[in-house]
Amino acid sequence: MSSRPGHAEALGIEFVDLPFGCCGFPLEPLDRVRSLAMAAYNLMLASREGLDIATLCSACAETLIKAEWLLSREEGLLRRVNRVLGELDAEYKGEAPRVLHIARMLHEEVGVERIRGLVKRPLNDLRVAVHYGCHYMRPSEAYGGFEDPERPRSLDELVEATGAESVEYPGKMDCCGGGLLAMSERVAKEMAAKKLRRLSELGVDALVLICPFCAIMYDRYQSLILGEGRIPVLYYTQLLGLALGLEPEALGLDLNAVAVDGLLEKVM
């Protein structure tokens, strides 16, 4: 879902590519100290350039923010992390660049009103369900409580800025199950299935989400779970791109697993 180039200009954001690597999240269950060292290394890369970090993935945002938070308050842990970083001749000295999930960045830095003003193709005919996932705003303690951890609003507001309607639905705050995909595909798929079945009955035009791992569960696995792809799944920037008047080809919509043709017909 490569829907980044094109938006940045319209929204006045400059993206700089840095040689980031894995945030460390997948290693946490095996070795928390090495997972934190990986996060710290990424933080140092941004800090060296004096830049903030924008993430597309909610678990990346959480992992990096939690690393800053933990390492600023637990000296023993910091020492152990630095012992590991010594292998790379690196030392983490509390560098704490701002880490913003792209949705949070759009909401806080660009702002809903400005986005509304930039809309060239209002999506007034669309009824969409938003999916926040878990790591976008939890743990609220590490995130400084920028969102209500159980009743967030920012993504609804971002969706509504495009003209689309964000429908309320039971299970809106459910976990996609992606965190369990490696350990138990059965449980993970069953967790994702709950939302997909509900949305299937509800008949929404799309599910809009903000985490690539949630997309694996709801988009990639949808035909396995429902027997066929029924509900288009858009990453928020794909929806936003349509509203900003960008061409579907520029939004990577052809890379989505569930076809989005019906939705495009409604919009274009």
Partner 1 sequence: MIEVDEIDTRFLRRLKSEFDESHLACFQCGVCSASCPVIEIEASFNPRRIMKMTRLGLKSRVLSSDYIWLCSMCLLCEERCPQGVRIPEVMTALRNLAVEEGYIPEPMRRIRSLLAEGGRLYPIDDFTAEERIDRGLPEVEAEPEFVKRLAGGVKA
Task: Indicate whether 21 belongs to the interface with partner 1 (CB under 8 A).
Answer: yes
Site string for partner 1, 201-240 (x = CB under 8 A): ----------------------------------------
- DSSP summary character for residue 257: S
List CB contacts of 181: < 8 A, sequence separation 6 or more. Answer: 188, 216, 217
Determine which residue in the list 61, 101, 105, 177 makes contact with partner 1, applying CB under 8 A.
177
Out of 60, 128, 188, 231, the only residue in the binding site for partner 1 (CB under 8 A) is 188
Nearer to partner 1, 88 or 268 (CB): 88
Question: Which residues, numbered 237-266, are part of the site for partner 1 (CB under 8 A)?
Answer: 252
Residues 6+ apart with CB under 8 A from 24: 34, 35, 36, 37, 38, 39, 42, 63, 67
Question: Segment near partner 1 (CB under 8 A), from 24-32, 105-113, 159-167, 197-205?
Answer: 24-32
Complete DSSP assignment for 86-148:
GGGT---------EEEHHHHIIIII-HHHHHHH-SS--TT-EEEEE--STTT-STTTTTTSS-
Candidate ranges 106-114, 115-123, 175-183, 201-209; the one touching partner 1 (CB under 8 A) = 175-183
Stretch that binds partner 1, among 116-124, 178-186, 198-206, 233-241 (CB under 8 A): 178-186
How far apart are alpha carbons 9 and 42 in whole angstroms? 25
Residues 86-145 within binding reach of partner 1 (CB under 8 A):
87-88, 134-135, 138-140
Judged by CB, which is closer to partner 1: 99, or 191? 191
Nearer to partner 1, 26 or 94 (CB): 26
Interacting residues with partner 1 (CB under 8 A): 2, 4-5, 17, 19-22, 24, 26-32, 34, 37-38, 41, 76, 84, 87-88, 134-135, 138-140, 149-150, 174-175, 177-180, 182-184, 187-188, 190-191, 252
